[in-house]
Amino acid sequence: MFDVFTQMAALIACGVAWRIWRPLGIHADTSRQSLTGLVYILLLPALVLDVLWKSPLGLDSIRISVSAISGIVVCMALAWLIYRHLFRHSSKPTSGALILAASFPNATYMGLPVLEQLLGPEARSIAIQYDLFACTPILLSLGILLAAAYGDHNEKASPFATLIRVPPLWTAIIAIILNASGIPMPNWLDEWLGMLGIAVIPLMLISLGMSLQWSAWKRHTLPLLLPVIVLQLVIMPLVVSVVAPGIGLEGMTLTGTILEAALPSMVLGLVLCDRYGLHTSFYALAVTMTTAISLLTIPFWFNWTT
């Protein structure tokens, strides 16, 4: 496991180094937007199609979704109560950003490499289903409504219109239809999708490193961040570890589902913060803190579930 996390940390460090040194004078945010755009529009849909077309789908897919939704909803509700009552003096854009950060794990950007490295390539399907069947729909519905309510913006909240423009989600629907129809994947397409999909994990980790920043760090911010750290890295996997086996998940699928819940805050939330006027710097700091700490907590959850 040490080798696995060393390799992942090295790729994340490449992104951090880019943010610090700006090679060729290109800012990390510009590079990250280009990388994530490429992954989001082309490479990730190719991987989703490749994996879900060939993976066995059934009741476990529903169980993964229910487990993920349980963890997200519980942590979102607890975060709302905490920042509404215990941190009532913090601004609405700050509270909104931190509620989002406490509610959604980085199920794809970090989940794919974690599960593939720890459980094998067949576990990629767990990460994709956890994200596309739970995290992304809730983020682009409840998450948008929350960001619109807490943000300082003039944007009109339109969750449905946003959701139907998600390329990996449409690709997942197509893959499920092809899978259920029993249509075999042509060899040439399998090879082509494999070539595209193999680039997803390193680019995701490098772009994750580019998104990490300490610019909002001050001594008084630590109490604000503690609920996010505890909810995201402790409470969410704990909730999922109770729900998932209770509804029938077991074996590698159970382990992968709990590991997905134990991941740090979702990077995609930065987009909502920018668009709806939440405090992006606080969200980015929450991503940075939870990512760093997760390198210690994920091995704990892995050992606990295996």
What's the pLDDT tens digit per position in 167-176? Answer: 999 999 999 9
Residue 274 pLDDT > 90, yes or no?
A: no
Residue 65 pLDDT > 80, yes or no?
A: yes
25 occurs within a structural domain: no
Find the domain containing 81 and state its range.
2-9+39-305
Strand partners, 105: 265
pLDDT bucket at 1, cuts 50 / 70 / 90: low
225 occurs within a structural domain: yes
137 occurs within a structural domain: yes
Share of the chain above pLDDT 90, in %: 57
Residue 160 pLDDT > 80, yes or no?
A: no
- So what's the pLDDT on residue 178? 95
195 occurs within a structural domain: yes
Residue 153 pLDDT > 80, yes or no?
A: no
193 occurs within a structural domain: yes
Instruction: Give the mean pLDDT of 178-186.
Output: 93
- So what's the pLDDT on residue 155? 67
Residue 216 pLDDT > 70, yes or no?
A: no
Instruction: Give the mean pLDDT of 23-37.
Output: 85
Which CATH number does the domain housing residue 233 bear? 1.20.1530
Contact criterion met (CB below 8 Å) for 148 and 276: yes
Residue 2 pLDDT > 70, yes or no?
A: no
Instruction: Give the mean pLDDT of 239-255.
Output: 97
Residue 157 pLDDT > 70, yes or no?
A: no
- So what's the pLDDT on residue 61? 94
- Selected residue with higher pLDDT from 215 and 15: 15
Instruction: Give the mean pLDDT of 213-220.
Output: 68
Share of the chain above pLDDT 70, in %: 96
Instruction: Give the mean pLDDT of 185-213.
Output: 89
**Count of domains for the chain:** 1
Residue 179 pLDDT > 90, yes or no?
A: yes
43 occurs within a structural domain: yes
Contact criterion met (CB below 8 Å) for 72 and 102: no
- Selected residue with higher pLDDT from 130 and 268: 130
Residue 31 CB coordination number (10 Å): 19
Q: What share of the chain is helix, strand, coil (3-state, %, to 5)?
A: 80, 0, 20
Q: Give the chain's mean pLDDT.
A: 90
Residue 279 pLDDT > 90, yes or no?
A: no
Q: Cα–Cα–Cα angle for 219, 222, 227, nearest 5°?
A: 170
21 occurs within a structural domain: no
26 occurs within a structural domain: no
128 is written with which tokens? Answer: 């994709």
